[in-house]
Structure 1
Amino acid sequence: MIGYLNYLLSYMEPGTLSQIRAIIGTFIRSKDPYFWFITLIMARFTLPDLAAWMIFMWRPSLLFDAGKGVANRPLVSVLIAGRNVADGIIPTIRSALSCGYPNLEVIFVDDGSADESVMQARSLEKTGRVRVFATEMHNGKPTSLNIGLSMARGNFLFVLDADCEVQYGCIDALLRPFEDPNVGAVAANLRVRNARENMLTRFQECEYAMNVSISRLWRARLGLLSILPGAGSMFRAKAMHALGGYDSGLGDDTDLTLRLRKARWKLRFAYDALVWTDVPNKFSWLLRQRSRWARNMVKIRLHKQLDIGMPNRFGLSNMLMTLDLLITRVAVPLLGFSGVIYYTLSMPFSRPLLLTGLYWIVIFLLSIRMLITNDIFHTPDLRTFWMWPLYPFYRFPIRLIELASIIRELLGIYRWHPYVPKRIWDQTIHW
């Protein structure tokens, strides 16, 4: 990455560098509160990644768990819950069986599928390492995982989505942080399996690199990891049983993560435990997914589990995690969009120039973040470099949908989502 930056700077004229310094000096002397708001947000999203990269270059041992893992190859139960996943369930189960870890069992709980999911999964029961449980009704993913939890015999539980594949060595890498008996769960490193399908999936590859790989790396080291992805995470069975499993009504990945944090379990991230997942290949599907994620964020973090931010009850790290969430997921979208509209309408002939300059600053910082993630995780593919100036236009409609979903959820407008079966939703206590 250093060589790449030197390459860029070598083509700049001395006068250009002087102009850049003059512009930066003008900005620093600015009394515009919106400018400083944008500056602080850029620093929040850029400096942690930059600090992680510098540590990676000089003291990588501070970032990565170097333990030998749990001794004696304990039994690992792989829990998979799915509905209508006949097209992908066999590759998913086979990837777990062939990941290089000998002592594991796979439990697939079918959530009332209408296709051949059960028949496909049962074709692998002859291996002696796969068990299949089929439910007649659609109960939702949390309930299905709880069924798998009741059947599991392993000391560690690896929760895996039915549309994912496990890379060789993944389970060994996930077990490594459990050498510390206070670690309750470890998140895998999610990578986009269908990244080359179209331009939309390429953008999501970039997004996952920044918001999953590099973000969870430094968050885990600071004790600020806020979500263990349901697509691929390992749990200490003792911790999961103590919590009673998932909440079948409002239980998702975030809810379980926050409950583990409340119970004072340490959470870790295994950068070399790769799980490959498919992402939406159509924009309408992507917007529905992000709308659901945004609404669940409000349901779980701001309604059900907001008390985690009380430092006297759950510690300083949980308070900092909650404040960061409120700033980045609620305050930033609200203030950002309102600020752009206000400044554009108040001085329509001069503000576009400012917004254009701001856009190129964002692209520069975004490119730095992309290069950092590529240097550490070898993702995203540098052949997508030409797409990076278009990334803000990819994120803009997603941010709009997320903001609308957050507002709708805060106002209590049609809170039910088909992700939770209606009969279960009606029996759930809502905040």
Structure 2
Amino acid sequence: MLKAPSSKNKLKGKFKRESDGYIPLLKKLKIAHSGALIWLLLSIYLSLNWVHELSLIVTLPVALFIIGGIAYIPGYINAFNVISLLLDRQPKFKVSNPTVPITILIACYNEEKNIRTTLQYIYKQFYLGEIKVIVIDNNSTDRTAEYAQQFAKKFKMDIRVIHESKKGKHHALNSALKLVDTPYTIILDADTILMPGSLRYIVSRQLTAPDDVVATAGAILVRNGRKNFWTKLQEWEYFLGIASVKRMQGMYQGTLVAQGAFSIFRTKNLVDIGGFPDVIGEDIVVTWLLLGKGYKVYFEPLAVAFTDVPETFKHFQRQRSRWARGMIEALKQIKPWQQPNRFPRYATFLNLLMPYIDIVYSLAWIPGLILAFFGITWIAGPMTLLVLPLALLQSYILYKYQKNVFKHLNLRIRKNKMGFILYVLTYQFILSPISLYGYIEEVFKLKRVWK
């Protein structure tokens, strides 16, 4: 007969785990939250004179509104991210060479330039299980379907090409989802290439995870980062900014976006929620729907994929306003207080603050910065620089993590110093107005634009 462990033994076991470097997830969340709150209180104390001086010009409520969006909330979020990253210890794989069959869905619209390369990198995967591929030709006007069929015939791959005449990525993915007969489904963009071990790593993480983890996001990096100003900027954003957020969220088992560029889902759970919804940010909303059911979502930094990012401001603006719009769609469908698990509830509440921060950056911080060049430091002054050290510390910590990832994968970090400087100094100025426009698009239900 099994005997329940005594409270003394429980305490001893807990002490042993923590002395070995293991910190329970809830404790990590409390530590990070407490540290961020301390930073917030310190920021408030140090900014009292700034608040007073600005309130003489714009009134106290407006001064608090502006400084909160420029310094208090961004500083709190950065502090939370930094502390969380310092506490992160990626669990080891329990399954290192998975053999479970998988199906990869690739939705395509006029992708004849990319589809063969994408399929070639799938063909080169170090994966022991069966790989099925469904290429969905979403009403293309080029030879995407023909090229995919030619590749399948030449390399004898299990590639099925289907046609979906209704425009929209969700229509394409849902048509293919009906044909999936494997326990796991991977979503991959047609312009995204996988590193040789990426399928093995993402499936290993999914199989290693607890049963309530139903999706895992891969790590997306930039392939065309040397092209011009815009791609250099985004190369650092993906390498440091997006990666840091996903790594932090994945540590708490609440990654908020299992991105459509490269993620794995448990097929049954994807079908149970009705597949991909008719929204512009289908990957954001589908992730939140899964989280709203009480499931969890991981992130695997070793499952690296490289994608092409927008090369012009026009396409960059459309993509990022679409992302901002997708976040609003998700917030409308699943309210933060409806999230059953602690961290997704907390993280989606933070997302509620994003429009506020973007409004302040767009309408107060940027004009304030212009005024500072003329010696008027009402808004942009020495106090605002307090946010910068935390942002740089976060970038440094992630750089060290990413360096280890690249070393493990035998990859080399490209030198892009100018891109890093531009990313640190200018990125938020560019992104906030674009995000604000995306919020406006969703509020007024303007026409959706994917490309």
TM-score (norm 2): 0.76
Q: Retained in 2: the 8 A contact 1:167–1:274?
A: yes
Q: Retained in 1: the 8 A contact 2:254–2:291?
A: no
Q: Retained in 2: the 8 A contact 1:112–1:137?
A: yes
**Structure 1 residues 362 and 156 mapped into 2: Cα distance closer, same or farther (>3 Å)?**
same
Secondary structure in 2 matching 1:107: strand
**Structure 1 residues 279 and 347 mapped into 2: Cα distance closer, same or farther (>3 Å)?**
closer
- Could you tell me which residue of structure 2 aligns to residue 291 of structure 1? 321
1:200 Cα offset (Å): 1.5
Secondary structure in 2 matching 1:168: coil
Q: Which residues in structure 2 correspond to 1:53-72 (within 5 Å)?
A: 53-55=85-87, 62-69=88-95
Which one of the candidate residues 397, 417, 427 is aligned to 2:430?
397
Which one of the candidate residues 168, 173, 180 is aligned to 1:152?
180
1:296 Cα offset (Å): 2.4
Tell me the distance in 1 between the aligned counterparts of 2:241 and 2:393.
Answer: 14
1:154 Cα offset (Å): 1.7
Tell me the distance in 1 between the aligned counterparts of 2:85 and 2:344.
Answer: 25
Deviations 1:22-42 (A, max 9, x none): xx9994553614546533234
**Structure 1 residues 131 and 248 mapped into 2: Cα distance closer, same or farther (>3 Å)?**
farther
Which one of the candidate residues 279, 304, 308 is aligned to 2:309?
279
Deviations 1:84-135 (A, max 9, x none): 0000001111111211113211111111111110111001222443323332
- Could you tell me which residue of structure 2 aligns to residue 321 of structure 1? 347
**Structure 1 residues 69 and 210 mapped into 2: Cα distance closer, same or farther (>3 Å)?**
same
Tell me the distance in 2 between the aligned counterparts of 1:142 and 1:347.
Answer: 46
- Could you tell me which residue of structure 1 aligns to residue 76 of structure 2? 44
Tell me the distance in 1 between the aligned counterparts of 2:366 and 2:380.
Answer: 11
Tell me the distance in 2 between the aligned counterparts of 1:371 and 1:330.
Answer: 27
Q: Retained in 2: the 8 A contact 1:224–1:320?
A: no
Q: Which residues in structure 2 correspond to 1:158-197 (within 5 Å)?
A: 158-177=186-205, 178-179=207-208, 180-197=210-227
Tell me the distance in 2 between the aligned counterparts of 1:382 and 1:29.
Answer: 43
**Structure 1 residues 107 and 134 mapped into 2: Cα distance closer, same or farther (>3 Å)?**
closer
Deviates more, 1:177-186 or 1:87-96: 177-186
Amino acid at match of 1:376: Y
- Could you tell me which residue of structure 1 aligns to residue 8 of structure 2? none
Q: Which residues in structure 2 correspond to 1:357-376 (within 5 Å)?
A: 357=382, 361-376=386-401
- Could you tell me which residue of structure 2 aligns to residue 11 of structure 1? none
1:281 Cα offset (Å): 1.1
Q: Retained in 1: the 8 A contact 2:280–2:448?
A: no
**Structure 1 residues 70 and 243 mapped into 2: Cα distance closer, same or farther (>3 Å)?**
farther
Establish whether residue 107 from structure 1 lines up as the match of residue 134 from structure 2.
Answer: yes
Secondary structure in 2 matching 1:84: coil
Amino acid at match of 1:316: R
**Structure 1 residues 65 and 148 mapped into 2: Cα distance closer, same or farther (>3 Å)?**
farther
**Structure 1 residues 49 and 262 mapped into 2: Cα distance closer, same or farther (>3 Å)?**
closer
Establish whether residue 30 from structure 1 lines up as the match of residue 49 from structure 2.
Answer: yes
Q: Retained in 1: the 8 A contact 2:138–2:165?
A: yes
Q: Retained in 1: the 8 A contact 2:106–2:189?
A: yes
1:173 Cα offset (Å): 1.1
- Could you tell me which residue of structure 1 aligns to residue 416 of structure 2? 384
Tell me the distance in 2 between the aligned counterparts of 1:26 and 1:261.
Answer: 37
Q: What are the ranges of 5 or more consecutive residues in structure 1 without an aligned counterpart?
A: 1-23, 56-61, 421-431
Amino acid at match of 1:158: I
**Structure 1 residues 258 and 349 mapped into 2: Cα distance closer, same or farther (>3 Å)?**
same
**Structure 1 residues 154 and 45 mapped into 2: Cα distance closer, same or farther (>3 Å)?**
same
Q: What are the ranges of 5 or more consecutive residues in structure 2 without an aligned counterpart?
A: 1-42, 52-63, 407-411
Secondary structure in 1 matching 2:173: helix
Which one of the candidate residues 355, 366, 375 is aligned to 2:380?
355
- Could you tell me which residue of structure 1 aligns to residue 146 of structure 2? 119
Tell me the distance in 1 between the aligned counterparts of 2:215 and 2:75.
Answer: 30
